[in-house]
């Protein structure tokens, strides 16, 4: 461990993704840059009677690419998602956990739904469904089971945390990794978000009248709602000196994080975006970065009328006149709203932007809302210098989270 006189810094050394536009980080990134969308009619379960039955489903998922036949047979779908993405992230980081001190490895994994598919299957069985149901599978039902199960599969002995602040959780986990590393609680943090589609969440958003019968169009004048998505986004966030000592790349740093609440409504955001703005300011202050130094903003951008309007107000509040000059995008037109995984998918995108200097377009945004004065990247990917990024997420119950990432060569 480093001397206490030397600040401990956090780098992203590996990424793994399983998404509606591709079942690897490379495929996910390629789909974003191309402006593709993975939003289609749901095929994974019966949608009879649903007012909206479109979503971002993971397609052609073959868990055997990274899991053994025994693991495929034993693990629930959500755990398969998480373990596949985690193994890709570890491979990308060139990190073999078997050779190090696993008590210095933390697992911080968020989910809003947990093993809801198990619960739905149990409910059908109780209602007279055919076949047997092994009640031991209910141990995979709680939301924390994904994190604890992942730690068990990988033999990790450090802290295991399952943060749950709804759709801001995927950003919060990256901020928690920064805190763990700064405080010396871990040298390696395996962090991310995992969700699987189920009838409960699709019907829930339909009942809230938050879903669209069109497609997801963040910041577009015609936007009319969101569509949910599924997948897994996992990152290896590692203490910089630890990463350098084993020859890993340290080119992307996590340098700041912030959290703030609205205290306004259980589902609707504060209309003025004050909570989101506070989280952004906290993250920038934690990073020691002035708003004028930000080169790109990854927006929550759900494509609902109120969320996008709130976020426009929040960004303008934080960045002032510069708000219209900073490129902004949202990935939800491509993969849908992946709930607790959303911010982690964005963190992977941000790391790729810092490495490639390419900003993906906002899928399906074609007619910018006249009330939006932000520089939303539309139509095609944009190549330009990017050294510092702010990523922001907002969620039910007024939860807001933000993180700041930076190219390490600017430190």
Kindly list the averaged pLDDT for each block of 10 residues, start to end, along the chain of length 411.
72 98 98 98 94 96 96 95 98 92 96 89 83 84 92 96 94 98 98 96 94 97 98 98 96 98 77 94 98 98 95 97 97 98 98 98 98 98 98 92 89 43
**Residue partners of 348: CB distance under 8 A and separation at least 6:** 15, 17, 25, 28, 29, 233, 235
pLDDT at 3: 47
Give the dihedral of Cα atoms 157, 96, 194, 240; nearest 10 deg: 80
Q: Among residues 84, 198, 300, 365, which one is catalytic? A: 300
pLDDT, one tens digit per residue, over 306-317 is: 999 999 999 999
- In whole angstroms, give the CA distance from residue 177 to residue 250: 15
Are residue 33 and residue 60 in the same domain, yes or no? yes
CB 120 within 8 A of CB 268: no
pLDDT at 4: 54
Are residue 153 and residue 177 in the same domain, yes or no? yes
Q: Among residues 11, 167, 198, 350, which one is catalytic? A: 167
Are residue 233 and residue 357 in the same domain, yes or no? no
Q: Is 300 a catalytic residue?
A: yes
pLDDT at 141: 86
Asked if the structure places residue 3 within a domain, the reply is no
- In whole angstroms, give the CA distance from residue 9 to residue 12: 10
Q: What is the CATH number of the domain that holds 100?
A: 3.40.47.10
- In whole angstroms, give the CA distance from residue 201 to residue 229: 10
Which range of residues forms the domain containing residue 227? 10-245
Q: What are the φ/ψ torsions at residue 106 (nearest 5 degrees)?
A: -105, 150
CB 379 within 8 A of CB 249: no
Are residue 273 and residue 396 in the same domain, yes or no? yes
Q: Is 79 a catalytic residue?
A: no
> What interhelical angle do 77-92 and 145-154 show, nearest 10?
50
* Sign of the CA dihedral running 217, 220, 226, 228: positive
CA neighbours closer than 13 Å in the CB half-sphere of residue 25: 26
Are residue 225 and residue 266 in the same domain, yes or no? no
Q: Is 350 a catalytic residue?
A: no
**Structural element, H or E, at residue 120:** helix 116-126
Are residue 57 and residue 144 in the same domain, yes or no? yes
Asked if the structure places residue 185 within a domain, the reply is yes
pLDDT at 411: 43
Q: Could you tell me the pTM of the whole model?
A: 0.96
Q: Among residues 337, 350, 365, 372, which one is catalytic? A: 337
Neighbours of 61 (CB within 10 A): 17
**The two three-digit tokens of residue 133, written as one number:** 């149901």
């Amino acid at each position: 461990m480093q001397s206490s006189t030397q600040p401990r810094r956090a780098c992203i050394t590996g990424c793994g993704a399983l998404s509606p536009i591709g079942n690897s980080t490379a495929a996910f990134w390629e789909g974003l840059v191309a402006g593709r969308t993975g939003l289609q009619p749901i095929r994974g379960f019966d949608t009879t009677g649903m007012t909206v039955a479109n979503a971002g489903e993971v397609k052609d998922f073959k868990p055997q690419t990274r899991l053994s036949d025994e693991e495929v047979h034993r693990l629930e779908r959500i755990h398969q998602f998480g373990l596949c993405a985690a193994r890709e992230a570890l491979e990308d980081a060139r990190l073999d956990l078997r050779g190090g001190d696993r008590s210095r490895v933390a697992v911080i994994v968020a989910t809003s739904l947990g093993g809801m598919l198990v619960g739905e299957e149990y409910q059908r069985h109780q209602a007279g469904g055919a076949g047997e149901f092994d009640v031991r599978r209910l141990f995979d039902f709680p939301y924390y089971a994904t994190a604890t199960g992942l730690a068990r599969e990988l033999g990790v002995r450090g802290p295991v945390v399952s943060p749950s602040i709804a759709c801001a959780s995927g950003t919060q986990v990256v901020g928690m990794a920064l805190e763990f590393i700064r405080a010396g609680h871990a040298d390696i943090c395996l962090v991310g978000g995992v969700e699987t589609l189920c009838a409960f969440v699709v019907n829930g958003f339909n009942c809230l009248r938050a879903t669209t019968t069109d497609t997801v169009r963040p910041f577009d004048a015609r936007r009319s709602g969101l569509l949910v998505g599924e997948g897994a986004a996992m990152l290896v966030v590692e203490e910089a000196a630890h990463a350098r000592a084993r020859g890993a790349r340290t080119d992307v740093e996590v340098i700041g994080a912030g959290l703030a609440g609205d205290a306004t409504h259980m589902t609707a955001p504060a209309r003025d975006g004050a909570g989101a703005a506070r989280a952004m300011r906290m993250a920038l202050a934690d990073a020691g970065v002035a708003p004028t130094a930000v080169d790109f903003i990854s927006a929550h951008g759900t494509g609902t009328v109120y969320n996008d309007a709130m976020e426009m107000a929040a960004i303008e509040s934080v960045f002032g006149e510069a708000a219209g000059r900073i490129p902004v995008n949202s990935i939800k037109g491509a993969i849908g709203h992946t709930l607790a995984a959303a911010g982690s998918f964005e963190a992977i995108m941000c790391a790729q932007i810092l490495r490639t200097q390419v900003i993906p377009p906002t899928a399906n945004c074609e007619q910018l809302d006249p009330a939006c004065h932000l520089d939303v990247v539309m139509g095609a990917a944009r190549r330009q210098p990017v050294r510092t990024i702010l990523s922001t997420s907002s969620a039910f119950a007024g939860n807001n989270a933000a993180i700041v990432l930076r190219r390490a060569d600017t430190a």
